[in-house]
Structure 1
Amino acid sequence: YFLPGKCGSCGPGYASPLDAMKGPREEIIYIPCIYRNTGKKIPDFLATVDVDPKSPSYSQVIHRLPMPNVGDELHHSGWNVCSSCHGDPGKSRDFLILPALISSRIYIVDVRTEPRAPRLFKVVNPEDVFWKCGLGYPHTAHCLGSGEIMISTLGDPAGNGKGGFILLDAKTFEVKGTWEKGDKVPPMGYDFWYQPRHNVLISTEWGIPKILGYGFDPNDLNKGRYGRRLNVWDWSSHRYLQAIDVGEDSAPLEIRFLHDPDASQGFVGCTISSAIHRFYKTQDGAWAAQKVIQVPSKKVQGWILPEMPAFITDILISLDDRFLYFSNWLHGDVRQYDISDPQNPRLVGQVFVGGSISKGGPVRVCEDEELRSQPEPFVIQ
């Protein structure tokens, strides 16, 4: 986040991703911190971290904003407006949108009044989401050029799988209803990304909320409880068009188009299968996917299964579309791939920052296709 007055005068954000690369670096960042399932019955909070190297509080948490409820499970966050409204000087990036995955609340946080000490502005209660949308378990929030906020969901109010989208008014933060039209919807939901120049939105699938809420259980595999599809939507008509199967129990999560607004391809990370798929537009106008990266599992002792998958979670693409980054939640590494040739990504960087296979821990790696030894523990000084 840039402090006020440093983002230009045309409107929020930048005219293009390449323009954003030329802008000043962030001075503070906001991080959702979750207590659910830790044994501590206290609220999740939003941490403000100073990332200005010139600041005396560099790399420190300088503020904590606790939520008013326990058990929310904050997850991803988004803005009230962003670069999609760059041409409108009447709009500004003032509020952070914090969907709560388990409680189905949506918190609106004021970051304009005091960026270093955000304050809670409004709470969208779950009954508003349930009754107006027939949806629950919100995840990804994106701001639209229309002046609305669009939030993907994992299921219906009862915890069954259902892929849909909530629309909020970006000024009042009232629930307006659903984005999707028609009776046909995917059986699950999670993340989404859209590319208006190709009239497409593609969403992903994690799993059934009332199963996921209790944590990962290997006994839930091979029972249709985890996602396997990329779901293609018509951007202008809001209708569900096509499903792309990327494998049983693959659980495709984070999806990213290339930043080039004319690009007709991108990448998606599949958590349980620990694979990255490239999705792309075919010559006949449909969409398809191909696996381009496979992170091998490690044979282990001292874990719940004899083989430990990487469990790819978050992914992102550099603003110049040169590099793909993703994190392996269980193995504990963050990887950098050169995607100059999108069909053949090349590993060029890797750092271990935690995970379950560090030396001295309860898990012993017996066979590893990639590493000669278990990584050293990550210690923060």
Structure 2
Amino acid sequence: MAGVDVEVIMHGELEKKVDSNGGKACCHGKGPGYASPLEAMAGPKESLLYVTCVYTGTGREKPDYLATVDVNPNSPTYSKVIHRLFVPHLGDELHHSGWNSCSSCHGDSSADRRFLVLPSLISGRVYIVDTKNPKAPSLHKAVEPEDILAKTGLAYPHTSHCLASGDILISCLGGGDGKADGNGFLLLDNEFNVKGRWEKPGHSPTFGYDFWYQPRHKTMISSSWGAPLAFSKGFNPQHVSEGLYGRHLFVYSWPDGELKQTLDLGNTGLLPLEIRFLHDPSKDTGFVGSALSSNMIRFFKNPDGSWSHEVAASVKSIQVQNWVLPEMPGLITDFLISLDDRFIYFSNWLHGDIRQYNIEDPKNPVLTGQVWVGGLIRKGSPVTAVAEDGSTYQVDVPEVQGKRLRGGPQMIQLSLDGKRLYVTNSLFSTWDNQFYPELKEQGSHMLQIDVDTEKGGLAINPNFFVDFGLEPDGPSLAHEMRYPGGDCTSDIWV
């Protein structure tokens, strides 16, 4: 961070830091979150998880809700939903979430990680949830889509990140007409009022989806899913060739909002979704998961200040029988990086496995763990995989607590210490209905995967299973997860 005196001691003691979102001086231990990623790793063990749960698209005329799940193994309600906060409208499609304050505000003693920001992907509404009572959150406010549209022209909100300035930045995937060319970035102030767009006029990305900022490199990079008019109706491969889906990364100056560079990932980077920089704020590298190409792509800064990309790890498509296409991609739909930047984890929603790679050398990830928890080529499925020698096979997927695992692994969340990986299996209601229609009738579930952080390795925890097929109002679709104290996909260090 040019012109700024930053001294960070190895084990997380932050002596002095100046943030690039308003110049506030940061002093150790004064605000929400942690002074460093390594300090966060030593934070308290998670006891609660918030999970967005969806009835939209299931045929049940019920509003979506935020579930609170007890993940404390010493609790009598361990592995159970202990609270449900229903939103007041139908058809929202709660999806991703973020905090009003996180570790980027660690130096601000007036900041408080209290409000969870819940964008609704389909309705365009943004709910603000008060977690003052962590076990029983309440609805604080709703930012209505009409207000957002009138002031910004934006709709289909997706990813929310807090900023060190106190503002909240939300990526939006289109305009009110569902066309991608209306997308951009929504700014809310610290009282959740619409401030306007973040990016400079004329600097909107071609497609929207996820984003991550790295202030010491004065950079924010966003990814690209597709036009809402396309993805909201289900996945049609023809839409890819028609240019209705993305394959680019968009590099912005931070915090100015000027589009500086567009990286074309080509056919190796079709549908780049989740994007993360390494947690160490001094690092100038990160990864993005390309869903359709099923590649983990590394992006990095060049000596001249421009950015480049390369394929870091690949999941081979599988030859299959009795499916809509002769080849099945893994479909990498979510990934994350451990807080010490040692491991990367991602889910293959169609194949059905979760993978762990060691990325201590970011240029050469090494597969260190793999576990099968569902997918379309499991034993008992009508779909069979074809090996190189022409023989067919299917994959063993174990039951958990006598329950057959449904769908494929989708959203993942890692404990602060990196030893527990939580997994849900709903992607987006329309796509769920297309690829895993049993989810609509049987509901989602949540698993916990035990992680070996020494030698590497993944194993299903047989003592943990949350069955969203048994919900009081009928089976629901469980998607993204958050811890009340923050996690490795919501916290950014400045």
TM-score range, shorter chain: over 0.9
The answer to whether the 8 A contact 2:203-2:257 is kept is no
Alignment-derived partner of residue 297 in structure 1: 317
Residue 321 of structure 1 is matched in structure 2 by 341
Question: In the alignment, what sits opposite 1:227?
Answer: 246
Q: How many Å separate the matches in 1 of 2:59 and 2:350? A: 21
Residue-by-residue CA offset, 1:263-294 (whole Å, 9 max, x unaligned):
00010000111111000001111001001111
Is 2:250–2:262's contact at 8 Å kept on the other side of the alignment? yes
Counterpart check, 1:130 vs 2:149: yes
Report whether the alignment pairs 1:47 with 2:67: yes
Aligned residue runs from structure 1 range 238-317, under 5 A: 238-248=257-267, 250-317=270-337
> One-letter code of the match for 1:331?
H
Kindly report structure 1 stretches of 4+ aligned residues shifted beyond 6 Å.
none
2:365 is matched with: 345
1:84 Cα deviation after fit? 0.7
Which of 1 and 2 has higher RCO (CA within 8 Å, sep 6+)?
2
Q: Deviations over 1:308-340 (max 9, x none)?
A: 111101111000000001111111111110001
Q: Counterpart in 1 of 2:58?
A: 38
Question: Distance between the aligned counterparts of 1:61 and 1:301, measured in 2?
Answer: 39
So what's the TM-score if we normalise by structure 1?
Answer: 0.94
Cα offset, 1:378, TM superposition: 4.3
User: How big is each residue's C-alpha offset from its partner over 1:109-168, in whole Å with a ceiling of 9 and x where there is no partner?
Assistant: 1111x2111111111111111111111110000000000000001111111104411011
Amino acid at match of 2:261: Q
Is 1:180 the equivalent of 2:191? no
How far has the Cα of 1:184 moved from its partner?
Answer: 2.8
% identical aligned pairs? 56
Indicate whether 1:380 and 2:400 are aligned: yes
* Counterpart residue type for residue 194 of structure 2: V
Alpha-carbon separation, structure 1, partners of 2:162 and 2:398: 36
1:161 match: 180
CA distance in 2, matches of 1:45, 1:298: 36
Q: Secondary structure at the match of 1:359?
A: coil
Between the aligned partners of 1:335 and 1:349, the Cα distance in structure 2 is 6
Q: Which amino acid aligns with 2:89?
A: N
SS at match of 2:241: coil
SS class of match (1:107):
strand
What SS does the aligned partner of 2:104 have? helix
Instruction: Quote the residue 2:107 is aligned against.
Output: 87
Is 2:387–2:393's contact at 8 Å kept on the other side of the alignment?
no
Structure-1 residue corresponding to 2:30: 10
* CA displacement at 1:234 relative to structure 2: 0.6
> What are the ranges of 5 or more consecutive residues in structure 1 without an aligned counterpart?
1-7
2:147 and 2:371 map into 1 onto residues whose CA distance is: 43
CA contact (8 A) 2:386 2:393 kept: no
Instruction: From 211, 236, 252, give the equivalent of 1:192.
Output: 211
Distance verdict in 2 for CA 1:368–1:77, change over 3 Å: farther
Is the aligned partner of 1:62 residue 2:97? no
Does the Cα contact within 8 Å between 1:298 and 1:368 map onto a contact in 2? Answer: no
| Superposition TM-score, scaled by structure 2 size | 0.73
Write the distance in 1 (CA, Å) between the matches of 2:361 and 2:61.
48
- Matched pairs, number: 371
Return the offset for 1:41. Answer: 2.6
1:120 corresponds to 2:134: no
Find the aligned partners of 1:282 and 1:374 in 2 and give their Cα distance: 44
Q: What is the RMSD of the two structures over their aligned residues, measured on CA atoms?
A: 1.7
Match of 1:150 in 2: 169
Q: Tell whether the 8 Å contact from 2:384 to 2:393 is kept in structure 1 after alignment.
A: no
